[in-house]
Structure 1
Amino acid sequence: MNKRPKTSSGERVHLSSSMDMSSASQLEQSKPLMEADVQFDSWAEKAMRNFIFEVGLGPRFVYLTSFKEMLQTVHNRDVEIPTYESMLREELKETQHRAMQLKQEWKKSGCSIIMDSWKSRCGTKSFISVLVHCSKGMYFLRSIDVSGILEDMDELASVFSRVVDDVGACNIVQVIRNDASPHMRMAWHYVQKEHDHSFFVPPCADFCINLLLEKIAAFDHVSEVLRKAKEITRFIYGNVLAYELVGRYIDDGEILSNSCLKSVAEFITLDRLVSVKENLVEMFSSPEWVSSDRSTRMFNPLDWISSGFSTTTSLFRHICGIVKTDGAFWCAAADVLKITKPFIDVLLKLESEDCPMGILYDTMASAKDIMHNLGDKYGDILHWVDEIWYGYLHSPLHAAGHMLNPRVFYKDPSCDDPELSGRIEACTTAIAKGHYDPGRLKAQIEVYKGRSGSFGSDSAIQQIVETPQGLFGGRRMGQTRLSCRASPLGSYAKHALALKDTTSAGRYWRRRMRRGELISKSCTVGWSTPTTTGVLPALHHS
């Protein structure tokens, strides 16, 4: 039996039948095959490199015998095993090429900076990850340790100025942050002033809506509803039998929300609880529950002690009483959801991959209209809605994105109100600096508003009607219908409409949450209790 030759990293593994290449004619005939081999090796190495770096395997991986044997059985031909160094070198080249492409896109159509504030696992160190997002993708710039300068506005401003200089102030449309602390706000205000307010610094939309829901949760009647809802979920998730029965009586077998935002998770969980009320009543009346001693015996003793009940039986009766007979709680919960559901729906729309920037302005306006229609008894809450909207979230970019979405603007006569016009004026003034003549830009906006010229043509109208709202300014549009090369309005449209970064930032943070990259206090504190069954997921929020 012939032994398989040993190979090392970088060697070619010859699997096909050997060929006698002694003669010149045979060598000449083999040249096309050799060229094909080189092309194949390039493809194979790239595929292996992508796999190894994506999985996060260490450098010793390529030297394993099992890895070489795997390659040797892939195909009946020569396979060159790349070294880790060569793969790293090629990956660096591709990364640098990708970075160059992204930076060219920044100059062409603008970009947004994402300032991701986060803490170390032990909570003693504070960092800011700086990312740059444009229509072509995301670019990681650097991570900054700000542990010692969090309350030093001058130092923070100096750090932020360096970030702006590295990206290029003329390329920046907005800087999105998830930290609304006074020092951060003042530092960015100083940097904006330094650059003549040529870009905007809004907070992340998810952060603002979560802050709004946090304010709503602080009202006495709302906090009382949330307290009782937590008692129900803690009981269910702390009792083995109850948790088993939930899987049978509730369709998806889950009540708790896995949102990474604490207040959002609370109200989504409350919504699910109300929607499965009848299922819970049926579950607590079922023969399996009523006839089983496990309903009291298999409950976590630490939970009923912390709840202030002397026995598990008394806690069981209390929870069953809320679920079955406490009509006031269920009515109050339904009233609370009338307030919060419109804002949860805003978040759900923002999570869509084809959500252009102007959607936020439109959906928040609709949510506020729903609040107004509920009556004067929610006046205090409506005050907080306006406080968060105008004090934190509202940016002229949202108004501009709303106006430059023809599917919205041309169908709604109320779009061009004085407030909207004022915001668009601020946006055009800021973004036009250093790019084009503001006067010419304003004149072209008037042409767009009046549907003059090509904007009123049959083909343009047909495109507006047929194109889904979410695609105006979306990535799939590529070039907007306003010619970016022919007029400043086109470039302005790409700046204000095509960038969906306020919501893209939220999706980026949520993806990091799902991967466990941001570790902080649990979203579900107070809503569930740890059990020995190990069935509860580890949920986190920033």
Structure 2
Amino acid sequence: MFLKSLDVSGLTKDADTLFKLFDKVVQEVGPEHVVQFITDNDSSFKSAGKKLMQKYGTFYWSPCAAHCIDLMLENFSDKRYFPIIDETIQKAKKITKFIYNHGKILYLMRSDFTNGRDLIRPTITRFATEFLSFQCLTKFKKELRQLFTCDQWVESRHARDVMGKEVAAIVLEDKEFWLQCQQIVKISEPLVRVLYLVDGDEIPSMGYLYEAMDKAKENIKARLKNKISAYIPFTSVIDARWDKQLHSPLHAAGCYLNPGICFRPSFKKQKDVTKGLLSTITRLVSDPDEQDILSSQIESYKKSLGDFGMAMAIRQREKLSPGAWWEQFGNDTPELQKFAI
């Protein structure tokens, strides 16, 4: 539900001003109805969000997950730390800009070589778009090489231009460029998948983000053949953003209350998510008696007692969304059912 918008073009976006604006919204909604307050990842927004969380103590502030993941991808392309990736990005931009800035070449590519498909796939964030372009370039490597050797290209005036020659040389002769494209796809694709998860509308992402980030790191390690020197620079970037900015007990609680994840034999983070769940209960539920009720009902969930142990409930753990599963099978534990939903 869209609540409201404000014209703040005449205001300074410092932390104190933002805090006052956010505080009015919380008071209007009622702090007892707020579970999570999400803002931009800019420093002033972060300061205002943290101040808001400290004032009330009954809900969580979090930075935008999509923005945080986009910043991870931005760090992957930082020439100070990953100069080869930055150099490869610049070459990729030369190829795509050249093709898309020349209508005849673009038409030729689409009509004769890529079956109408594009090299650029606009997506939710700037850096995701850049990394998705590498997937397209790698996918259409053969077609691009055919494009820059076909008669129409050879006979065109662009084939004799300085930029045309430079782009053709990258596509046809630069083996290192294509190797780096494949490497970049390996390390970026797992994060792009998480980005689609948190920004999509198909399922609420809260119950999936914790495991999704963990799986992304494991996927990157596996793709780099578990070679520590190869994957540590990238997983360190992810950990820095995840641990210091994005991760909160709320994500762990969402993971714990997602039966499709929590009951998997392969899931190894039980202690971490249990700790997050208890921390979340303590913050969101102020009444000690209600906290105790939730604690006792968690045991029923954990041990699959009552409706939780029904064959249908077990089969539906990964088929239903967490909220729908709790609506259907959480009637024996009404307080926990309400909390989970």
Q: Output the TM-score relative to the length of structure 2.
A: 0.90
Cα pair distance change 1:413/1:320, threshold 3 Å: closer
Cα-Cα RMSD: 2.2
Q: Give the whole-Å Cα distance in 1 for the aligned partners of 2:256 and 2:177.
A: 43
Q: Give the whole-Å Cα distance in 2 for the aligned partners of 1:241 and 1:142.
A: 44
Q: 1:503: which partner in 2? A: none
Deviations 1:32-87 (A, max 9, x none): xxxxxxxxxxxxxxxxxxxxxxxxxxxxxxxxxxxxxxxxxxxxxxxxxxxxxxxx
Q: 2:218: which partner in 1? A: 369
Q: Which of 300, 318, 329 is the matching residue for 2:177?
A: 329
Higher strand proportion: 1
Cα contact 1:217–1:223 (8 A) shared by 2: yes
Higher Rg of the two aligned structures: 1
Cα contact 2:327–2:337 (8 A) shared by 1: no
Gaps of 5+ in 1: 1-137, 297-311, 495-542
Cα contact 1:356–1:473 (8 A) shared by 2: no
Write the mapping of 1:345-364 to structure 2, written as runs, cut at 5 A. 345-350=193-198, 351-364=200-213
Q: Give the whole-Å Cα distance in 2 for the aligned partners of 1:290 and 1:346.
A: 42
Q: Which of 167, 183, 201 is the matching residue for 2:44?
A: 183
Q: Give the whole-Å Cα distance in 2 for the aligned partners of 1:331 and 1:250.
A: 21
Cα contact 1:212–1:388 (8 A) shared by 2: yes
Deviations 1:205-231 (A, max 9, x none): 211111100000112111011010011
Cα pair distance change 1:436/1:192, threshold 3 Å: farther
SS in 2 for 1:483: coil
Identity %: 28
Q: CA deviation at 1:413?
A: 4.9
Cα contact 2:134–2:184 (8 A) shared by 1: no
Establish whether residue 473 from structure 1 lines up as the match of residue 323 from structure 2.
yes
SS in 2 for 1:437: helix
Q: Of the two structures, which has the highest relative contact order with CA contacts closer than 8 Å and spacing of 6 or more? A: 1
Q: CA deviation at 1:468?
A: 1.7
Cα contact 1:431–1:492 (8 A) shared by 2: no
Gaps of 5+ in 2: none
Q: Which amino acid aligns with 2:99?
A: I
Q: Give the whole-Å Cα distance in 1 for the aligned partners of 2:328 and 2:206.
A: 14
Establish whether residue 339 from structure 1 lines up as the match of residue 187 from structure 2.
yes
Tell me how many residue pairs correspond in the alignment: 332
Q: Give the whole-Å Cα distance in 2 for the aligned partners of 1:234 and 1:225.
A: 14
Write the mapping of 1:4-403 to structure 2, written as runs, cut at 5 A. 138-145=1-8, 147-151=10-14, 153-177=15-39, 179-196=40-57, 198-218=58-78, 219-248=82-111, 249-293=113-157, 295-296=158-159, 313-350=161-198, 351-373=200-222, 374=224, 375-376=227-228, 377-403=230-256
Q: 1:77: which partner in 2? A: none
Q: CA deviation at 1:449?
A: 0.9
Q: Give the whole-Å Cα distance in 2 for the aligned partners of 1:320 and 1:180.
A: 40
Q: Which amino acid aligns with 2:144?
A: L
Q: Give the whole-Å Cα distance in 2 for the aligned partners of 1:481 and 1:146.
A: 48
Cα contact 1:403–1:415 (8 A) shared by 2: no
Q: Which of 283, 288, 296 is the matching residue for 1:430?
A: 283
Higher helix proportion: 2
Q: Output the TM-score relative to the length of structure 1.
A: 0.58
Q: CA deviation at 1:262?
A: 0.9
